[in-house]
Amino acid sequence: MTLAPGALAARAHPFTPLVVTAAIAVAAIALPGAMATVALYAATVILVLATGAGRAALRALVPLAPLWLFLFLLHGVLGDGSRVTVAGLSLSRDGLTLAVTQGARLGAIATASLALYAAFSPARFVDAVAERGWPFSAAYLVVATLLALPRFRARAVVILEAQRSRGLRLRGSVINRIRAIGPVTFPLLLGALAEVDERGFALETRCAAGTVRRTALAPPADRMADRMVRWAAALSAGAAVVWRVFG
């Protein structure tokens, strides 16, 4: 979690941002036309700002910028159909509409998911899952992977540096670079498999694979407001699907 502890998204029940993000993704795919999708993107950005995860809207621009550029090039510039001239540039009218619709869809989904990541607290999520009586292994898989990622990334950097220092060429001809794939990936893969053994024993001693219901020490509060937000989000997504199908 990278939010201030007082932020609304950080205080919400862990399932609330999950359901809201899923609802935004469903609505983004279901809503037809440029106007509706642009409105959804705007609403998502406002929601993210209001809940204290505003930086996610900015961070989402990093993956979105190249996508928007290629949408503009592929559909706006190279698209078929009637043409319109904008600032001396001949653009496809239908292609532009398609690019804006798709760009807004991707914008809404990316912004909501990065806000969810910013608000996600592994410890609170495990407690919330335990409180519901859901299998511990499901929560463990999500949380253990999220915690393993920085460790694996750090190990990958160490491997790259070690291989460079022993003279492995990571640049140059394509053949050289293909030859380097093994030396940079094998240590990471073998290290991961060696770790599986140790962790397997550690998990066994903690009965991690057991099916007995666990008791959460400090389960996050599931307030009426949280439940209402989740229902409203699910109903809105359902309404968007109905609008798409019957509208």
Single-letter residue type at 72: F
The C-alpha atoms of residue 120 and residue 185 are separated, in whole angstroms, by 30
How far apart CA 200 and CA 46 sit, in angstroms, is: 44
Interacting residue with other proteins among 32, 33, 63, 133 (CB under 8 A)? 63
104 binds other proteins (CB under 8 A): no
How buried is 17 (Cβ within 10 angstroms: 0-12 exposed, 13-18 middle, 19+ buried)? Answer: buried
Closest among 137, 127, 126, 128 to 209, alpha carbons compared: 137
Contacting other proteins within 144-163 (CB under 8 A): 144-146, 148-149, 151-153, 156, 159-160
What distance in Å separates the CA atoms of residue 47 and residue 44, rounded to the nearest whole number? 5
CA distance 85 to 92: 9
Closer CB to other proteins, 84 or 143, in the complex: 143
Distances (CA, A) of 233 to 23, 167, 228, 229: 6, 55, 8, 6
CB nearer to other proteins: pick between 108 and 229: 108
Report how far Cα 13 is from the mean position of its chain's Cα atoms. Answer: 18
Residues 22-51 that bind other proteins (CB under 8 A): 25, 29
Per-residue contact flags (x/-) with other proteins for residues 206 to 245, judged by CB under 8 A: --xx------------------------------------
Please choose, out of 47-55, 177-185, 215-223, 230-238, the segment that lies near other proteins by the rule CB under 8 A: 177-185
Site for other proteins in 112-141 (CB under 8 A): 112-114, 116-117, 120, 137, 140-141
Residues 83-102: x/- map of binding to other proteins (CB under 8 A)?
A: ---------------x---x
How many whole angstroms from its chain centre is CA 134? 23
Q: Are 33 and 61 in contact (CB under 8 A)?
A: no
Where along the sequence are the contacts to other proteins (CB under 8 A)? Answer: 21, 25, 29, 60, 63, 66-67, 70-71, 73-75, 78, 98, 102, 105-106, 109-110, 112-114, 116-117, 120, 137, 140-142, 144-146, 148-149, 151-153, 156, 159-160, 170-171, 174, 177-178, 180-182, 184-186, 188-190, 192-193, 195-204, 208-209
